[in-house]
A = this chain, B = another copy of it.
Amino acid sequence: MIYYRIKDIELKIHGRIDNALDVVPLLANGHGIEVNVTGSQLWADVEADYEDYEPWAAIEVNGSLTSRFMVDKGRQRICLFKGRSPEKITRVKFYRELQAMSEDAKTCIVIRGLWTDGGFKGPPTYEHKLEFVGDSISSGEGTYGAREDTDWIASCMSYSRTYINLIGHELNAECRVISQGGWGVFSGWDNDRRHAIPSIYEQICGLAGCTGDKYGAGRAHDFASWVPDAILINLGTNDREGFNQPPFKDPDTGEFYKLNTAPDGSFVGEDIELIKSAVVDFLKMVRRDNPASHIVWLYGMLGYDLSLTLADALNRYKAETGDGNVAYLQLPATNEKTVGSNGHPGYEAHKIAAEILVDYLKEHI
C-alpha cells in the first residue's frame, strides 16, 4: 500500500472544515471524508484524543454502514475496507458520529492521510446540498442504546441513524449539521442563555474553546463556499424545557435566568416573546448568510408545545422582511414504539421524520 497525505487526495470533505489544513479534523457530527477509490483496501491514518467524552466514528462503504465504533486516544490506523475486488471503484465515507463536545475540550479525531493499494478516482458527487441546524435530536441522541439507558453518553449519539443521514441517502444530498444537545434557539434546556445555537451558527466546525481551536473552530464560515438548497432548523425543544427547569445562574455574571410559567401552567408572555425574538433574529442571520436557500423550521419530535410560538415568530419574520422562502413543518412526536435511549427519538422516529422530509424536499428543492 502507498501512503497519501490528505492534501494529495481528491476527496470530499463533509462538514464546515477549513480546507486549507494539511489534515482533516472531525470536530462535530457528520464531519468526515469520502472517496472513490480502486484497490483491495483502504486505511486511514488517524489521531484522536479525549478527556471525558470519547469520539465515535462510522464507516459507510458503497452507501451502507459497515462499522461504528469509539476511537481511542492516540495515533492509529483504521481500516476503512479490506479484501475487495481491486479493479472496482469503492465509495467510502468515514465520519464522526459524535457532536462537538463543549464538556470536553480535548475530544477530537484528526485524519492525516490514507493508505491504499489502489487509486483515487475523484470525489463522490451529490445532487443536492442540505444544511441542518439543531439540538440533541439532530445530534442523534437516542438513536443508539437501550431504552432503559438514561446516561448522557457519547455512544448513544450518532449521525448514522439520524433523519439527516437518512435524508441524505434518499435524496443523494450532501448534508451538513450544526447541532448541540441541550441547546436552544434562545436558551438551553437548563435556562443557560449561552447555549443558543445562533451564537455558533456562523462559525466553522463546532465549538470554540476545544481542541478544534487549533483547526479553526470558531472562525467565520465562508457561506459563499457552500450554498445549501435548503436549511432545516430543528430548534425549540430545549427552549420549551426551560419553562420546566429551575433558574440558571450564569457563572460569569452571577445573574439568574429562567423562562417562567404562570400559576395556571401557561407560558409567561414576555418569556415567550424572548424566544420569538430569538427565532426572528436567527432567521435574519440565516437568510443574510444564505440569500438563496429555502429555510424550513422543523419542530415536534419531542412535543408540540411551542408550535404556535415558533409559527408566530416565523410569521413575524416574514412580515418584517417580506421573505417568502421560509416554511414551518411539524414532525410527529416520538411515541413509546419509536422512542430510543434516554427518552429521545429512536431510529424508528428518525425514519418517520426522514420520510416526511424527503417528501417535502422533493417538492421544494
Q: Are A77 and B72 in contact (CB under 8 A)?
A: yes
User: Can you list the 8 inter-chain pairs with the closest CB atoms, starting with the nearest?
Assistant: A311-B311, A330-B330, A62-B146, A69-B69, A64-B146, A83-B153, A312-B315, A332-B356
Q: Are A67 and B64 in contact (CB under 8 A)?
A: no
Stoichiometry, copies per complex: 4
Closest to A83 in B: B153
Q: Are A72 and B82 in contact (CB under 8 A)?
A: no
Which residues of chain A in 82-131 are interfacial with respect to chain B, using CB atoms and an 8 Å cutoff? 82-85
Query: In the complex, how many angstroms separate the beta carbon of A47 from the nearest chain B beta carbon?
Result: 16
Most chain B beta carbons < 10 A, residue from A264, A329, A332, A355: A332
Q: Are A83 and B154 in contact (CB under 8 A)?
A: yes
Among listed A187-195, A286-294, A300-308, interface-contacting one: A300-308
- Known contacts: A54-B79, A307-B311. The answer to whether A360 contacts B333 by CB under 8 A is yes
Which residues of chain A in 130-159 are interfacial with respect to chain B, using CB atoms and an 8 Å cutoff? 144-146, 148-156
Query: In the complex, how many angstroms separate the beta carbon of A338 from the nearest chain B beta carbon?
Result: 10
User: Of B64, B332, B355, which contacts A144 at CB under 8 A?
Assistant: B64
Q: Are A153 and B329 in contact (CB under 8 A)?
A: no
Q: Are A149 and B67 in contact (CB under 8 A)?
A: no
A38 within 8 Å of B by Cβ?
no
A246 within 8 Å of B by Cβ?
no
A209 within 8 Å of B by Cβ?
no
| A153 / chain B contacts, CB cutoff of 8 Å | 81-84
What separation, in Å, do the CA atoms of A307 and B297 have in the docked complex? 11
Which residues of chain A in 313-329 are interfacial with respect to chain B, using CB atoms and an 8 Å cutoff? 314-315, 318, 324, 327-329
User: Of B145, B307, B359, which contacts A335 at CB under 8 A?
Assistant: B359
A220 within 8 Å of B by Cβ?
no
What separation, in Å, do the CA atoms of A356 and B341 have in the docked complex? 21
| A266 / chain B contacts, CB cutoff of 8 Å | 324
Task: Name 5 interchain pairs, CB-CB below 8 A, sorted by A.
Answer: A53-B83, A64-B144, A68-B69, A82-B153, A311-B314
What separation, in Å, do the CA atoms of A63 and B145 have in the docked complex? 8
| A341 / chain B contacts, CB cutoff of 8 Å | 64
| A152 / chain B contacts, CB cutoff of 8 Å | 83
- Known contacts: A64-B146, A79-B54, A304-B360. The answer to whether A85 contacts B330 by CB under 8 A is no
User: Of B84, B154, B156, B304, which contacts A151 at CB under 8 A?
Assistant: B84
User: Of B62, B82, B311, which contacts A315 at CB under 8 A?
Assistant: B311
- Interface residues as binary, A264-277 with B (CB distance below 8 Å gives 1, 0 otherwise): 10100000000000
A61 within 8 Å of B by Cβ?
yes
User: Of B154, B318, B360, which contacts A308 at CB under 8 A?
Assistant: B318
- Beyond the given A67-B155, A72-B77, A72-B79, could you list 11 further A-B residue pairs with CB under 8 A, ordered by the A residue number? A61-B155, A65-B144, A66-B144, A70-B79, A81-B155, A83-B154, A307-B328, A307-B330, A311-B314, A312-B312, A332-B355
